[in-house]
Amino acid sequence: MTINLGITCSTGWTSIGLSESGTVLAEMNLNIGRKQSSELPKAVGEVLRLSSKGLDQVDLLVLTNGPGSFTGVRVGLSYTLALAAARGYPVVPVNTLELMAHQAAPFFRGPILVPILKAKRGHYYAAAYRFNPDGNELSTLWEPGFYAFGQLTERLASWDQNVILIPDNAKPFLSFSSSNLVYEGFIPSGGRLALLGDLYFKRAIPFDAVHGIYLRPPDIG
């Protein structure tokens, strides 16, 4: 097992975690909004200090590369890839919606999981996953996409079975359908992201092969 440093800034939260041999050593999950670029290096330093580890002991970086906030995705990419370039770390990219599904895993292993992230102007990012019965990896039922609210609810209504909705903002979906459960209170976990480096280590690529996932055209929002 490796020492993994997880970094996600794709939502309004800035979350950092460090794991070793399948155990989270420390994490910080900060709701700091537009201060991400200035506070991210400090948060990484604090997580390393709490873990009694140094950057020279890290083996792997695990990064959410979108979708989410344009600014947050760019901040996370810029910092993490600069760190990887300077120190030669491989990077495991994880899309933000995957992380959301994995965080719900301890509570919902069987049903279809639909993580939903607010974009702007009544639009959302969403995907649908189900866990493989023989392991912890996800099967993708819908690829991550960009939807107007009506498009998303129409697609959800087309399922002939119940789903678990995992929105970053639950309010618009609480009255959508009584047949679907809504997992409220999502906060991205830097520790959980770091652990995904072990699960998805085969995804590890050089820093210059990592790209952001934006999904929506830049003229919206």
CATH H superfamily, domain 3-95+187-209:
ATPase, nucleotide binding domain (3.30.420.40)
Q: Each residue of 33-45: pLDDT tens digit? A: 888 989 999 999 9
Q: Please report the pLDDT score of residue 215 as a whole number.
A: 92
Q: In degrees, to the nearest 5, what angle opens at C-alpha 70 toward C-alphas 141 and 146?
A: 30
Token match 């794709």: residue?
Answer: 10
Q: Which CATH number does the domain 96-182 belong to among 3.20.20.80, 3.30.450.40, 3.30.420.40, 3.40.50.620?
A: 3.30.420.40
Taking the domains of the chain in order of start, what are their residue ranges? 3-95+187-209, 96-182
Q: Which two tokens stand for residue 197?
A: 């480096």
Q: Each residue of 101-149: pLDDT tens digit? A: 999 877 777 789 999 999 988 899 999 999 887 778 899 999 999 999 9
Q: Which residues are bridge partners to 4 per DSSP?
A: 19, 60
Q: Please report the pLDDT score of residue 180 as a whole number.
A: 75
Q: Please report the pLDDT score of residue 20 as a whole number.
A: 98
Task: Name 75's Cβ contacts closer than 8 Å, sequence gap at least 6.
Answer: 9, 36, 37, 40
Residues 3, 18 contacting (CB under 8 angstroms): yes
